[in-house]
Structure 1
Amino acid sequence: RGNEMTDVLKEFPLLIDPRTGHSLMERTILIANTSNMPVSAREASIYTGITMAEYYRDQGYHVAIMADSTSRWAEALRELSGRMEEMPAEEGFPAYLPTRIAQFYERAGFMQTLSGNSGSVSIIGAVSPPGGDFSEPVTQHTKRFVRCFWGLDRQLASSRHYPAISWLESYSEYLGDVKQWWNDHSDGSWYLSRQKIMDLLQKEVRLQQIVKLVGPDALPDTQNFILEVCSLFKTAFLQQNAFDEVDRFCSVEKQVKMLSVILAYYEKGLEAITKGVPMVKIRRLKAVQEMVRMRLTVKGDELETIDRLQLRLERSIDQIGGIYEN
C-alpha cells in the first residue's frame, strides 16, 4: 500500500545498522509496486528483486531478499492470465502457478563466484492467505517448495505476543544441517534441549484440551507444572521486544543459556513436586521471578549472570524439596 511505503521511506533512514553503525538504508534497496500501479508492474517486481539480489551475490555479497507478499504477486499473475484468456486452474490461478513459485525460490542459494569469492541469496517470502486459510493454493505450493515455514498466529498478535510465530504450525527441515553448528556453540546441548522443550509444548496442547473440558483444578500438580513451564517459556524466551535496548538482539550463547535455565527449572521443579512440594511454593521463588525477566535484564556479554541465576534457582528448589522430604 502507498501509505505503508511512505512510512517505510520515512522510518528506514532513521534506523541504525548494528553492524556498521550507519543508516540501514545504505545496505537496503526497496522495490515498490503498490496496488494502484499497473498489474504488469506488480507481476514483474518480484523478478526485478531477485535479479538485483543475484547481481550483488555475483560480486561476493550475502543478500537477503524479503518478498512481501508472494500472494499479491500471485494475484497479479491471475489477473494477467485472465486478460490473456488462459485456462484457469484452482481458485482461478493459472495452471503454471506452482512452476513460477518453484522457479522463484530455487534462485536462492550459496555459490562460488567466478572471482573465487562466495556469495549467497536468502529468500524470505511472505504469504498472506485470505482469511488466514492455509489450504489455499499459494500457501500450499509454497510449503511444497520451501523447507522452512513460519506460521503467524492472529491470537498471539492480539495478545501482544511478538514475534507472533506459532510454535506448532511452524517447522524447519534444516535441523540436520544446522545441528552441528549449534552444538559447537552450545557445548553440544542445543539439539537435545530443543527436543525437550518441543516435547513439553506438545504435551501442553493435549493438557490444554483437558483443561477446557474439566478445568485446571482437575489436573495434578505434575501436569499443571508443565503448563506453568510452557507459559514461562513463551514469556521468557519466545517473546522479544524489538524496541528494548537489551532484548532487541540475543546472541547464540545467551539463547542456549536461557533455555538451559528453563529446562533446569522444569526438571528440578518436577522432582520437588513428586516429593510433595506444592507448585505455588516453587512459583513464588525469587529466582523464578528473575528468570522471567532475564531476557530484558541480562546483556549478551553477561552470561555468567545466567549461570549464577541457574545455581540459585536449583539451590532454592532443593532447599524446599529437602524440607518437605524431611
Structure 2
Amino acid sequence: MWKGERDMNNQDVIYSINGPVVTVKNSDTFSMQEMVYVGHARLMSEVISISKEKTVIQVYESTTGLRPGEPVYPTGQPISVTLGPGILRNIFDGVERPLEEIAKESGAFIPTGSHVEPLDTQKLWDVTLCVKEGDQVEGGDVYATVPETDLITHKCMVPPYVKGTIKEVKENGQYRINDTVVVLTLEDGTDLNLTLCQKWAIKQPRPVKKRLPISMPLVTGQRVIDTLFPIAKGGTAAIPGGFGTGKTMTQHQLAKWCDADIIVYVGCGERGNEMTQVLEEFRELIDPKSNKPLVDRTVLIANTSNMPVAAREASIYTGVTLAEYYRDMGYHVAIMADSTSRWAEALREISGRLEEMPAEEGFPAYLPSRLSQFYERAGYMENLNDTKGSVSIIGAVSPQGSDFSEPVTQNTKRFVRTFWALDKALAYARHYFAINWNQSYSEYIPDLERWYSKNVGPKFMQDRQALSSILAEENKLQEIVQLMGSDVLPDDQKLTMEIARVVRVGYLQQNAFHKDDTYVPLEKQLKMMEVIVYLYKKCQEVVMDGKPIRQLIETGIFDDVVKIKYDVPNDHLELFDDYYKKIDAVCASID
C-alpha cells in the first residue's frame, strides 16, 4: 500500500492495476456496486468485490497511463443513468455518455476521464404541467408532459417510492431539464424539487404494479417470424448464428418494422463499421406508420469492439433501463441487444483477471444468473400509474463456429421463449431470413392463439399448423432423397416435396428490398397461407385420382404461387381470388 500518500491525503489510493481491474488495499470506504472515480483523470468505475483486505473495482474506461498511488474517489451512489427528455434521437456509449457531443469536443475517439452531461442541459423544452397545488401524488404519477419528438410525448413521472402533496407548480412554458417545475412536500414534511429528469441505477429493475399475462404478438411483418415463430409483446427471443448468417440484419429489419412504439438498439462489442452502418441507416429511414424519421422513436447505444471491455456489461443494463423508463410511460418498447456473446466474453475476461474459478469454456460460473437478470427484465406490465406497457428483448448470440451447444447459447435458451436459429447453409444460399425452421421454436403460440383468431382470422393458426406439418414431413423425406434420389418417391410424397418448396421459397423467404415484400401485413400472410393450403389440397385430389405429378409441375402453377408475394401488392388483396380460379382450372385440365 502507498501508505505515505494515503495518510497525507487521507483518502484511498490504487494498490494494483490489471487491465480494467483496479484494487484498493485495507479500505472500508466503499460499498458493493458503488460508482467510484479512479485516478487523477477520474475514470468512471464500479466496485465489484469487497473483502477486509482489498476492494476490487472494474473501470469502464481505458486504464492506460493509470499508476499505483493515484486516488480513488467514492460517490456513495450506484452506476446510474439520467432519465429525461433528449434520450430519443441520441447516441450513447455503454455508460450513457453522448457520443455526438464528445465527438464535437474531442474527435472520433472518447478521451479518458471524459465527463459530458448525458442529456443537453441547456436546451429548452415546451412543458405542460399536469398537476395542481394540493394534489396527492405518488411514484409513477405524471406531473408534466414534453413533446420529445414528433412521434413521442415524454411523460415526466414522480420517482418510484416517493409520495406527497404538491406544494408549488410552475406555469406552462419552456424549461431546461434541471429546472424545477414542481415542488413536492413529502410525508415527513421535507420538500422535494421535481425537474424534468431523474436518476436511476442501471442494475435495479424499475418497479411496476404487476406483471400481466402475455396476450398479443409483437407484429414484425416478417412471415417466418409472425407465422411460424412469433414473439409476444413483453417477450424474449434469441437469434443465434455464426458469422455472416444475418443476426445484425435480422435485428435491423425488426427494428424498422416491428409495431413497438420505441426501439432501443444496443451494439455490444460489435465491429465499428457495423455500428456506423446502423447509425447511418437509422438516420435515413422513414417510419412507415408516421412518415417521420425512424430515429424520432429510437435510441442507440454503441459500445464497439475497440471500446473498454468492462463497459460492455454496463451497456446491456443501460439499454434495458432506458427501455423500462419508456415502458413506465405506457409505451411498448423493443430492445435489440447485439450481441450478448460479446457481453459474456467481457464477463469472462473480467472473471479471468479476478482469478475466479472458471466454469465451462472459461466462462464464470455466474453466467446463467447474469443472463437471467437481463432477460427477466422483459415483460408486459401494469405500471405504477395504471398504464400498460411492455419491454420485449431480442438478443443476438454469436456462437463460435456456429456451435449451438456452447455455454452462452445453451444458457440463453433457458431464459428465452423464442429461438430463431440462423443457418449458415441458408444464409449462403441467399435465403433471407436464414431462420432454420427445423431448429427454431416459439413457446408463445398457445398464449397468442386467441389474439390471432380474433384479430386476423380463425384459420390463421390452422393454416400455420398445416405449413409446419408440410415442412416437418419434407424434413423426413429429405433423408431418403439424399440417399436414393427423389425418383424413388411415390407421387404423393413428390407432391409434399413440391409444396414444401413453395412454402420455403414462396412464403418463408422474403425480399427486404422489394416494396411489397419487405413488410407483409398479417392479412396478406393469412391469404398467402390459404392459397398454398388450397393448392396442396387440390393437387392431392389430382394425385389420388392416379394422375402423374409431373403434369401438374409442367403447368407452372407451383411457380405462379411462389411469385404471389411479388405479384399481389399489399393494398390489393382482392387479387388472391384469381389464384383459386387458376388452381381449379389447372387441376381440372390434367388428363
Provide TM-score, normalisation by structure 2: 0.53
Higher normalized strand content (fraction of residues)? 2
Task: Report the Cα offset of residue 286 of structure 1.
Answer: 5.2
2:10 alignment counterpart: none
User: Any conservation in 2 of the 1:185–1:253 contact (CA below 8 Å)?
Assistant: no
2:538 alignment counterpart: 268
Letter in 2 for 1:121: V
Letter in 2 for 1:19: K
Are residues 1:120 and 2:390 paired?
yes
Identify which range, 186-195 or 261-270, moves more after superposition: 186-195
User: Any conservation in 2 of the 1:298–1:305 contact (CA below 8 Å)?
Assistant: yes
1: CA distance, partners of 2:289 / 2:456: 23
Task: Report the Cα offset of residue 185 of structure 1.
Answer: 3.5
**CA offsets, 1:250-275, max 9 Å, x none?**
11111111011111111111110121
Q: Which runs of 5+ in 2 are unaligned?
A: 1-270
Task: Report the Cα offset of residue 311 of structure 1.
Answer: 2.9
Task: Report the Cα offset of residue 287 of structure 1.
Answer: 4.4
1:305 alignment counterpart: 575
Are residues 1:279 and 2:549 paired?
yes
- Which structure has the bigger radius of gyration? 2
Paired residue secondary structure (2:333): strand
2: CA distance, partners of 1:233 / 1:297: 16
Paired residue secondary structure (1:39): coil
1:119 and 1:79, CA in 2 relative to 1: closer, same or farther beyond 3 A?
same
Q: Which runs of 5+ in 1 are unaligned?
A: none
Are residues 1:209 and 2:479 paired?
yes
1:122 and 1:218, CA in 2 relative to 1: closer, same or farther beyond 3 A?
same
1:130 alignment counterpart: 400
Task: Report the Cα offset of residue 289 of structure 1.
Answer: 3.4
1:225 alignment counterpart: 495
**CA offsets, 1:31-86, max 9 Å, x none?**
11111111111121101111111111111111100000000000000111111111
Letter in 1 for 2:272: G
User: Any conservation in 2 of the 1:246–1:297 contact (CA below 8 Å)?
Assistant: no
2:368 alignment counterpart: 98
2: CA distance, partners of 1:218 / 1:281: 18
User: Any conservation in 1 of the 2:324–2:391 contact (CA below 8 Å)?
Assistant: yes
Task: Report the Cα offset of residue 301 of structure 1.
Answer: 2.6
**CA offsets, 1:87-116, max 9 Å, x none?**
111111111110010110100011122222
User: Any conservation in 1 of the 2:433–2:510 contact (CA below 8 Å)?
Assistant: yes
Letter in 1 for 2:554: R
1: CA distance, partners of 2:458 / 2:368: 39
Letter in 2 for 1:30: L
2: CA distance, partners of 1:158 / 1:121: 33
2: CA distance, partners of 1:187 / 1:120: 25
2: CA distance, partners of 1:314 / 1:257: 17
2: CA distance, partners of 1:286 / 1:145: 45
1: CA distance, partners of 2:395 / 2:420: 10
1: CA distance, partners of 2:326 / 2:434: 32
1: CA distance, partners of 2:557 / 2:456: 23
How many pairs does the alignment contain?
A: 321
Letter in 2 for 1:153: D
Task: Report the Cα offset of residue 4 of structure 1.
Answer: 1.2
Paired residue secondary structure (2:395): strand
Are residues 1:153 and 2:397 paired?
no
Letter in 2 for 1:11: E
2:204 alignment counterpart: none
2: CA distance, partners of 1:311 / 1:304: 13
2: CA distance, partners of 1:307 / 1:25: 39
**CA offsets, 1:159-205, max 9 Å, x none?**
11101111110100111111111122343112222222211111111
Letter in 2 for 1:125: G
Paired residue secondary structure (2:434): coil
1:196 alignment counterpart: 466
2:559 alignment counterpart: 289
Paired residue secondary structure (2:547): coil
